[in-house]
Chain A
Amino acid sequence: AQKVTQAQTEISVVEKEDVTLDCVYETRDTTYYLFWYKQPPSGELVFLIRRNSFDEQNEISGRYSWNFQKSTSSFNFTITASQVVDSAVYFCALSPPVGGYNKLIFGAGTRLAVHP
């Protein structure tokens, strides 16, 4: 079965703290993609990153960084020096290669609240 688990339902931090959002996935496929999306209060999902299952290099983009560990089936997301604008719901998603159609399996999301 394919599944994405985001165990942290809500996280609350004070501005400038670092915060890590956990994502654990299950799949039997050897090829797949992993994603992180941000959903601000406006509701629209904003694409943050895509990671190929063959590429285990960590990635950094400004204050955002991602740690992909295939051995533990995890794809964690860290925000360094958090800001109030980072407050949102963050979704991790898995895309298995299903017959050419790009299915996304979402986790339940982690609501991040950054307080001034």
Chain B
Amino acid sequence: DGGITQSPKYLFRKEGQNVTLSCEQNLNHDAMYWYRQDPGQGLRLIYYSQIVNDFQKGDIAEGYSVSREKKESFPLTVTSAQKNPTAFYLCASSGSGSGASSYEQYFGPGTRLTVT
């Protein structure tokens, strides 16, 4: 079955440590995204990548880093510079091209990160 995998579902870290969240997709999508969700709020875009070896900052990129070495993978690193890292992180992907369906983003199950 095609889809997006995020692991682990729950992640706990001590303050000051970097942590990397994984995101893998087998939908053959070119574009991938990382969002952050805080309680009672909508999703906010952290980073996105339209193609391998290229990525752009979203609205709240400070304290985060990404890489896109393979089409299927878009890992997110939450660095110690991120002031409030505890949140729910969602990865998404979308198809390429200019057709209407390319605007649909498909989401993974998310990773809930808790930093103490």
Contacts and interface: CB of A to CB of B under 8 A. Distances in A.
20 contacts: A35-B103, A43-B88, A43-B90, A43-B109, A43-B112, A45-B90, A45-B92, A47-B105, A50-B103, A52-B100, A93-B42, A100-B98, A101-B48, A102-B31, A102-B103, A103-B45, A106-B44, A107-B42, A108-B41, A109-B41
A82 interface: no
Interface residues of B, number: 26
A4 B42 contact: yes
Nearest to B94: A102
Nearest to B4: A44
Contacts of B45: 103-104
A42 interface: yes
Contacts of A107: 42
Interface in A93-116: 93, 95, 100-104, 106-109
Contacts of B108: 44
Interface string A40-58: 0011111100101000000
A49 B110 CA distance: 21
B90 to A, nearest CB: 7
Given A42-B109, A43-B110, A106 B42 contact: yes
A9 interface: yes
A54 B108 CA distance: 30
B48 A108 contact: no
A50 B31 contact: no
Contacts of A101: 31, 48, 50, 56
A115 to B, nearest CB: 21
A1 to B, nearest CB: 13
A95 B42 CA distance: 14
Given A9-B40, A91-B43, A107-B42, A47 B98 contact: no
Given A107-B42, A108-B41, A47 B56 contact: no
B104 interface: yes
Contacts of A35: 103-104
A64 interface: no
